[in-house]
């Protein structure tokens, strides 16, 4: 999940949007402090969703303060002060970012490998400083399973998606207990599955051109035409329904503001990601 899980800011209340941005700043600061300055460059907006889910489950209270930072030198930014949840988010995302960059290193060819090499060096250190050996190990296992499926040219999207589902499930559930752990695992699991499948559908053309692995290339005659797009859309939608079920189990009354941002991400942000697969006759233009 990289840059995939975002809200539609136009539909947030102003205070919710401010909170969302303050959380992002807070995670970025926590990352600078706990995993190294440079590693915070690898941060994406997905981390805010992760932090929101975990905030709702742990019930940490957040206080905002204004800070100066190097990226925005001219204006002070609202920024949520460090809480254990934000620190954990920062550490978990350092590990995830390292996994991602390793994955890219394995796939990409050409000049892009030079910046990737440096990014990998920075993030390897960051992941080590994050000090989450169990999560890192689980991630390696799932990435290895994924690589094996890719090698075998697996045609079952569900089998491929399950790998990233399990991985994100572990990340969401880490260091939580009881019912909260189950809810977080389910959210992570369905989100991981959704992101993997939606990402594959989105990259279909690119992967076809570059000769990279993509599960949709091995379905039917590999053309990914109207009928198959329709089926993929329905299946991804079904995944969102499962995700919705898990999200509705969160204690929404405890953190109504956070709950609304999560709902915005689920109902608008994620739905928009698969709008390109939607059958033409049903697509409605939003009136704006």
Partner 1 sequence: MRDPYTVLGVAPDATEEEIKAAYRRLARRYHPDHFASDPQAAREAEAKMKEINEAYDILTRKGGSAGNGQATFAEIRQKINNGLFADAELQLDRMPAAARTAEWHYLKSIVLMRRGWQNDAMREVETACMMDPNNPEYARAREMLRNRFAGFGNAYGQSRSTRYDRGGYTQTGGCSSCDVCTGLICADCCCESIGFDLIRCI
Minimum CB distance to partner 1, residue 210 (Å): 23
Token pair for 78: 């609202």
Token pair for 1: 């999940």
Minimum CB distance to partner 1, residue 76 (Å): 31
Do 269 and 243 contact (CB within 8 A), yes or no? Answer: no
Minimum CB distance to partner 1, residue 288 (Å): 6
User: Which range touches partner 1 (CB under 8 A), out of 79-87, 122-130, 202-210, 224-232?
Assistant: 224-232
Q: Which is nearer to partner 1, 11 or 82 (CB)?
A: 11
Residue 73 half-sphere exposure, CB side, CA atoms within 13 Å?
1
* Phi, psi of 222, deg, nearest 5: 80, 10
User: Which range touches partner 1 (CB under 8 A), out of 28-36, 54-62, 168-176, 233-241?
Assistant: 233-241
252 interacts with partner 1 by CB under 8 A:
no
Q: Which is nearer to partner 1, 70 or 288 (CB)?
A: 288
5 Rama class: left (phi>0) / alpha (psi -120 to 50) / beta: beta
What sign for the dihedral angle of Cα 38, 40, 43, 47?
Answer: positive
Work out which of 15, 109, 282, 283 binds partner 1, going by CB under 8 A. Answer: 282
Work out which of 115, 238, 251, 256 binds partner 1, going by CB under 8 A. Answer: 238
232 interacts with partner 1 by CB under 8 A:
yes
Cα 58–64–67 angle (5° rounding)? 130
Q: Which helix (H) or strand (E) holds 52?
A: helix 46-58
Work out which of 13, 106, 234, 248 binds partner 1, going by CB under 8 A. Answer: 234
Minimum CB distance to partner 1, residue 112 (Å): 30
Do 68 and 149 contact (CB within 8 A), yes or no? Answer: no
Contact residues for partner 1, defined by CB under 8 A: 8, 11, 156-158, 161, 197, 219, 227, 230-235, 237-242, 244, 263-264, 266-268, 271, 282, 284, 286-288
């Amino acid at each position: 999940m990289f840059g995939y899980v975002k809200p539609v800011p136009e539909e947030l209340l102003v205070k919710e949007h401010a909170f969302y941005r303050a959380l992002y700043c807070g995670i970025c600061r926590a990352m600078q402090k706990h995993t190294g300055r440079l590693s915070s460059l690898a941060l994406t907006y997905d981390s805010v969703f992760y932090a929101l889910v975990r905030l709702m489950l742990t019930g940490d209270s957040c206080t905002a303060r204004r800070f100066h930072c190097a990226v925005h030198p001219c204006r002070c930014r609202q920024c949520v002060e460090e809480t254990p949840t934000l620190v954990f988010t920062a550490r978990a995302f350092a590990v995830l970012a390292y996994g991602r960059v390793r994955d890219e290193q394995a796939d990409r060819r050409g000049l892009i490998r030079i910046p990737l090499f440096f990014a990998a060096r920075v993030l390897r250190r960051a992941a080590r400083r994050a000090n989450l050996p169990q999560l890192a190990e689980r991630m390696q296992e799932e990435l290895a399973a994924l690589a094996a499926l890719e090698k075998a040219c697996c045609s079952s999207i569900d089998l491929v998606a399950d790998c990233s589902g399990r991985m994100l499930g572990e990340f969401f559930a880490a260091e939580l207990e009881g019912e909260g752990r189950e809810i977080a695992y389910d959210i992570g699991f369905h989100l991981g599955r959704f992101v993997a499948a939606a990402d594959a559908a989105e990259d279909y053309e690119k992967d076809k051109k570059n000769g990279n692995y993509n599960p949709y290339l091995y379905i039917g005659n590999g053309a990914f035409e109207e009928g198959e797009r329709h089926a993929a859309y329905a299946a991804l939608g079904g995944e969102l329904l499962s995700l919705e079920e898990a999200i509705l189990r969160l204690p929404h009354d405890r953190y109504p503001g956070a709950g609304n941002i999560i709902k915005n991400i689920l109902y608008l942000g994620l739905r928009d990601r698969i709008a390109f697969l939607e059958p033409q006759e049903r697509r409605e233009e939003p009136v704006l």
